[in-house]
Each structure stands twice: as structure tokens, then as C-alpha cells.
């Protein structure tokens, strides 16, 4: 199996890039794709799927924009069927906790007849440093429609380690790993921990979801993304996902990375440097 490339859908994504780097350093060949790669893969264009899949036997699949969107179910169904027809044998699917749409997609994979793994993840810690929350942090104030609900944010490096284990260790086949960080924290607590670590004051402000969506609308954020963020901050972020789960330990035999360690790595990466430089100026 080491000879045929492992397909990675989401080459430059937060998890895809890390999975790609880890597999390559272990000596595996990879074929990492997204819309911008020379062999292009676009979830919106099923004509691009077959060339990406052909010649591969296992795949790491991240769906865009999110398995919660209503059209994801039909898309995943079509993709999994094609993958089977083309000869893919094993799919590791990145899923989200507490999302009905994600669970429907999981079911499609589990009942497909393919060998499978599901990595069902909590919110990513890296959302604070590599995604939509970074801008707020750099502005000194994160404004979100989230109150006192705690979330066990997971370090994306842990997700990548679990995905690589699932792709390369046959003893893990046909298992679901529900992966979270080791502590549930509210957004306000996360911001306090980041603020303490970087030595720069940061503020978290909770606003009503309608005000948040109106602001996104004024910024020209597409309607589907508005729908998704409303769904994530209301239906999904209602307390159902507070519980810490043991998926990282089950897959890797070690505890999940703490949020403080994540903060340390983010500081090292330089992503929050503009704030730290302000402090030392």
C-alpha cells in the first residue's frame, strides 16, 4: 500500500496540510488536492473527483464548507459511491460533533461497504490562530454569539496524528474516534488564557446571534456561510458538546494536547506577533 499515493482532500487546509506533511515524513506517497492544485478537486464539480481518486486506495476526506450544510449529504453519497466504483478501499472522514448533517454523512460512509474511520472533532483551537477568529484577536476584541457554553477545543495537530494513525494502522479500521481537547473552556476563558500568555489585553464580547449575522451580511459574507455560522452558534453550540471525549487517547495511547500547549505553539509560529510587538514597542 506504501506505493499507491494516499489521497488527501483539502491540501492546504488546517488538517490536510498537517496530515500531508506527517505522511510524507513517514515515507508515504501522497496526492493532496483542492481547487487550486494542478490536479484540481472541487466539491462543487463532480467531474473533478474521478481523476483525483484514480490510482489511490485510501483517502483522508475533508468536506467544504461543512458537513452541516443541507447539500452535503447528497454530495457525500455521490462521492462515496464513485470512490467505491473507482477502487478506493478506505476513507478517513473528518466530521463535526453534534451536527445532524455530519452524522448523516458518517452513516453513509459506515454503511458503504468501504473500510472506514470517522474522526469526529470538537471545535479547533486553531480557529483562534489560523481561521475566522484570528482577525478579532489581532483587533484586540473577539465578538461572537457565544455565551457561557464551554467547548473542549482540540489541537489540530492531535487531529492530524489521529488521522495518520487511522490511515496507516490497520488495527484501527472501522472505528470512530470522537476527539476533543482535555478541558472544556468558554470563549472568555480561552481569550483570558491567550491574553495572559501573550501579555497583551484581549477582550471577548458576546452578542446576540441576529446581530452577529446582520454584521456578517453587511460585510458581504455569502448567505450559505451566514446560515452555517447561525447553525454552528445556535444548534451546535447549545451545550451538547461540552463533554470531554477520549478519542485522541484511544487512537494514539497518549492524552490530548492542552489548550495552553496550543497557545505556546501559536506564539512560536508568530501569528500573534503584531500584538506582542505592540506591547514591546
Ligand X SMILES: NC(=O)c1ccc[n+]([C@@H]2O[C@H](COP(=O)([O-])OP(=O)(O)OC[C@H]3O[C@@H](n4cnc5c(N)ncnc54)[C@H](OP(=O)(O)O)[C@@H]3O)[C@@H](O)[C@H]2O)c1
* Chain mean position to CA 113: 25
Whether 190 contacts 153, CB under 8 Å: yes
Site string for ligand X, 74-113 (x = CB under 6 A): --------------------x-x-----------------
CB nearer to ligand X: pick between 200 and 245: 245
The count of chain residues that interact with ligand X, using the rule CB under 6 A, is 24
CB of 281 to ligand X, least distance (A): 32
Distance CA 104, CA 73 (A): 7
Distance CA 180, CA 248 (A): 7
Q: Does 64 bind ligand X (CB under 6 A)?
A: yes
Distance CA 208, CA 19 (A): 36
Distance CA 209, CA 142 (A): 14
CB of 165 to ligand X, least distance (A): 17
CB nearer to ligand X: pick between 99 and 200: 99
Distance CA 84, CA 89 (A): 7
Q: Does 167 bind ligand X (CB under 6 A)?
A: no
Set of cell numbers at residue 3? 506505493
The position carrying cell 513517514 is 26
Of positions 6, 7, 8, 15, contacts ligand X by CB under 6 A: 15
Which of 40-48, 164-172, 252-260, 267-275 is the region at the interface with ligand X (rule: CB under 6 A)?
40-48
Prior bond of 5 cis (ω within 30°): no
CB nearer to ligand X: pick between 16 and 247: 16
Whether 60 contacts 163, CB under 8 Å: yes
Site string for ligand X, 126-155 (x = CB under 6 A): -x----------------------------
CB of 267 to ligand X, least distance (A): 20
Q: How far apart are the first and last CA of the chain?
A: 54
Q: Does 49 bind ligand X (CB under 6 A)?
A: no
CB of 121 to ligand X, least distance (A): 4
Which residue lies nearest ligand X, judged by its C-beta? 13
Cβ neighbours of residue 87 under 8 Å, at least 6 residues apart? 53, 54, 57
CB of 201 to ligand X, least distance (A): 25
Cβ neighbours of residue 94 under 8 Å, at least 6 residues apart? 15, 60, 61, 62, 63, 119, 121, 159, 163
CB nearer to ligand X: pick between 122 and 195: 122
Q: Does 35 bind ligand X (CB under 6 A)?
A: yes
Query: Helix, strand, or coil here: 32?
Result: strand
Distance CA 267, CA 42 (A): 33
Of positions 30, 58, 62, 75, contacts ligand X by CB under 6 A: 62
Of positions 28, 30, 31, 41, contacts ligand X by CB under 6 A: 41
CB nearer to ligand X: pick between 202 and 236: 236
Residues that bind ligand X in the complex, under the rule CB under 6 A: 10, 12-16, 34-36, 41-44, 62-64, 66-67, 94, 96, 121, 123-124, 127
Amino acid at each position: 500500500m506504501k506505493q499507491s499515493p494516499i489521497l488527501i482532500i483539502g491540501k492546504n487546509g488546517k488538517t490536510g496540510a498537517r496530515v500531508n506533511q506527517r505522511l510524507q515524513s513517514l515515507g508515504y506517497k501522497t496526492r493532496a488536492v483542492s481547487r487550486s492544485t494542478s490536479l484540481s478537486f472541487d466539491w462543487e464539480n463532480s467531474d473533478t473527483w474521478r481523476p483525483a481518486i484514480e490510482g489511490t486506495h485510501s483517502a483522508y476526506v475533508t468536506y467544504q464548507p461543512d458537513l452541516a450544510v443541507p447539500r452535503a449529504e447528497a454530495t457525500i453519497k455521490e462521492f462515496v459511491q464513485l470512490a467505491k466504483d473507482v477502487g478506493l478501499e478506505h476513507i478517513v472522514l473528518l466530521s463535526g460533533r453534534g451536527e445532524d448533517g455530519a452524522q448523516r454523512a458518517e452513516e453513509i460512509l459506515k454503511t458503504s461497504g468501504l473500510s472506514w474511520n470517522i474522526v469526529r472533532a470538537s471545535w479547533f483551537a486553531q480557529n483562534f490562530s489560523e481561521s475566522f477568529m484570528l482577525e478579532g484577536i489581532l483587533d484586540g476584541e473577539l465578538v461572537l454569539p457565544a455565551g457561557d457554553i464551554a467547548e473542549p477545543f482540540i489541537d489540530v495537530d492531535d487531529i492530524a496524528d489521529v488521522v495518520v494513525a487511522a490511515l496507516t494502522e490497520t488495527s484501527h479500521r472501522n472505528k470512530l474516534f470522537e476527539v476533543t481537547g482535555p478541558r472544556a473552556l468558554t470563549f472568555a476563558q480561552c481569550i483570558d488564557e491567550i491574553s495572559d500568555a501573550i501579555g497583551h489585553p484581549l477582550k471577548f464580547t458576546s452578542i446576540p446571534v441576529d446581530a452577529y449575522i446582520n454584521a456578517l451580511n453587511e460585510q458581504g459574507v455569502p448567505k450559505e456561510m451566514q446560515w452555517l455560522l447561525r447553525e454552528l452558534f445556535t444548534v451546535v453550540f447549545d451545550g451538547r458538546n461540552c463533554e470531554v471525549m477520549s478519542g485522541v487517547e484511544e487512537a494514539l495511547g497518549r492524552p490530548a494536547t492542552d489548550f495552553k500547549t496550543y497557545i505556546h505553539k501559536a506564539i512560536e509560529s508568530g501569528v500573534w506577533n503584531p500584538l506582542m510587538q505592540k506591547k514591546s514597542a
